[in-house]
């Protein structure tokens, strides 16, 4: 038990979680980067289901197959190197050093190098990052279709993606014929199409609920959803970065002609994870559009949201009644394309 709280820390086998003394049930369970390392991820989901409240949900992250092609090519080469060196430990210092040398020798044509999708993992992860990425003994990756099938086989359904803009194919399309055809697909198929189209999604973060749970997906057009920025910097720094272009990396936010820097900056400052869309629109009407009417405030907010969503810098959630939790980090740096390649 953590002193001064009702929080109890438990270390246990996820497959036997229901046998933990007085475990009870949970309204929300988070499993990030865990299930895809199990021999049978579906059994892991079923185990979590045993301690999930009937109307509860699970937030989980599993690897994306398309964006990790370079990783699996590197893993295959690392296994070949180890097989050619009898007695070498799979994650020992000698194997890590050999793998590091391999990564440094990769030609520009290699997918791991050319895609640049895992540069951050390789650059900042150090020894542990290299082992997790290349030398992990077991991981499984999924396409959207395979993920959907996995979830359904465990008695669940996907309620929403944590970053829905990544799974929106329409900003990537120009052909009216293609757009009209895609629009006839169901939303999961649209997401799968977007994944194939982008080709760079390295992980899927989804919220799932039991198949019998009727809860609907949040919609960014709903007045009660809470939009928030996924830029690592929080709304205050993001607001400044929009005007100055001072970013950690990547390109400055590309604003449409219909949205001024000052307007985008003002709206970004309001997206702190505590305000609903309706509250943001009211604030914009009061402080920004000043007398031009609610319609103009709604128009500006819609354009701003579409702009943030296009570079995958925005997410949104439902806010529980009466709760206003801040859900953004406030790091002193900013990067609007952070989630483009993930």
DSSP 173-225: ---HHHHHHHTTS-HHHHHHHHHHHH----EEEEEEEETT--PPPP-TTSTTE
Sequence ranges of the domains in the chain: 14-64+143-210, 67-134, 225-318
Alpha helices in 245-314 (DSSP H): 261-270, 277-284, 294-310
Q: Which pTM was predicted?
A: 0.76
Q: Model confidence over 83-113: pLDDT tens digits?
A: 999 889 999 999 999 999 999 999 999 999 9
How sure is the predictor about 320, in pLDDT bands with cuts at 50, 70 and 90?
A: low
Closest CA to 301 of 323, 319, 316: 316
Contact 147, 195 (CB under 8 A): no
Task: Tell me the percentage of the chain whose pLDDT exceeds 90.
Answer: 53
Contact 99, 70 (CB under 8 A): no
Average pLDDT, the chain: 86
How many C-beta atoms surround the C-beta of residue 31 within 10 A? 18
d(CA 11, CA 19): 12
How sure is the predictor about 341, in pLDDT bands with cuts at 50, 70 and 90?
A: very low
Contacts of 100 (CB under 8 A, 6+ apart): 130
d(CA 188, CA 107): 36
Q: Model confidence over 229-247: pLDDT tens digits?
A: 766 566 777 777 777 766 5
How sure is the predictor about 164, in pLDDT bands with cuts at 50, 70 and 90?
A: confident
Residue 342 pLDDT: 35
Contacts of 211 (CB under 8 A, 6+ apart): 152, 155, 156, 157
CATH class name, domain 14-64+143-210: alpha beta
């Amino acid at each position: 038990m953590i002193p001064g709280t009702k929080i109890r820390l438990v270390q246990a086998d996820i497959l036997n979680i229901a046998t933990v003394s007085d475990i009870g049930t949970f309204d929300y369970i988070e499993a990030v980067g865990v299930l895809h390392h199990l021999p049978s991820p579906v059994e892991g989901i079923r185990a979590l289901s045993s301690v999930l409240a009937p109307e509860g949900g699970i937030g989980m992250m599993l690897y994306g197959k398309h964006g990790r092609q370079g990783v699996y090519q590197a893993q295959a080469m690392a296994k070949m190197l180890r097989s050619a060196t009898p007695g070498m430990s799979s994650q020992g210092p000698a194997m890590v050093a050999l793998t590091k040398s391999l990564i440094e020798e990769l030609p520009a044509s290699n997918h791991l190098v050319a895609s640049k999708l895992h540069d951050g993992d390789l650059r900042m992860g150090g020894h542990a990052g290299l082992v997790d990425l290349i030398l992990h003994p077991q991981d499984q990756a999924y396409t959207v279709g395979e993920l959907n099938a996995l979830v359904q086989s465990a008695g669940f359904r996907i309620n929403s993606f944590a970053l829905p803009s990544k799974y929106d194919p329409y900003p990537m399309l120009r052909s009216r014929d293609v757009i009209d055809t895609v629009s006839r697909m169901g939303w999961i198929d649209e997401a799968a199409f977007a994944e194939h189209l982008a080709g760079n999604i390295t992980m899927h973060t989804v919220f799932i609920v039991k198949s019998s749970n009727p809860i609907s997906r949040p919609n960014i057009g709903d007045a009660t959803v809470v939009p928030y920025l996924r830029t690592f910097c929080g709304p205050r720094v993001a607001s400044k970065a929009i005007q100055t272009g001072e970013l950690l990396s990547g390109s400055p936010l590309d604003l449409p002609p219909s949205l001024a820097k000052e307007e985008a900056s003002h709206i970004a400052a309001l997206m702190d994870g505590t305000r609903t869309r309706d509250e943001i629109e009211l604030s914009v009407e009061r402080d920004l559009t000043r007398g031009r009417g609610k319609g103009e405030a709604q128009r500006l907010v819609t354009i701003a949201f579409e702009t943030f969503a296009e570079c995958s810098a925005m997410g949104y959630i439902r806010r529980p009644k009466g709760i206003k939790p801040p859900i953004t980090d406030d790091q002193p740096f900013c990067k609007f394309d952070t989630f483009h390649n993930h």
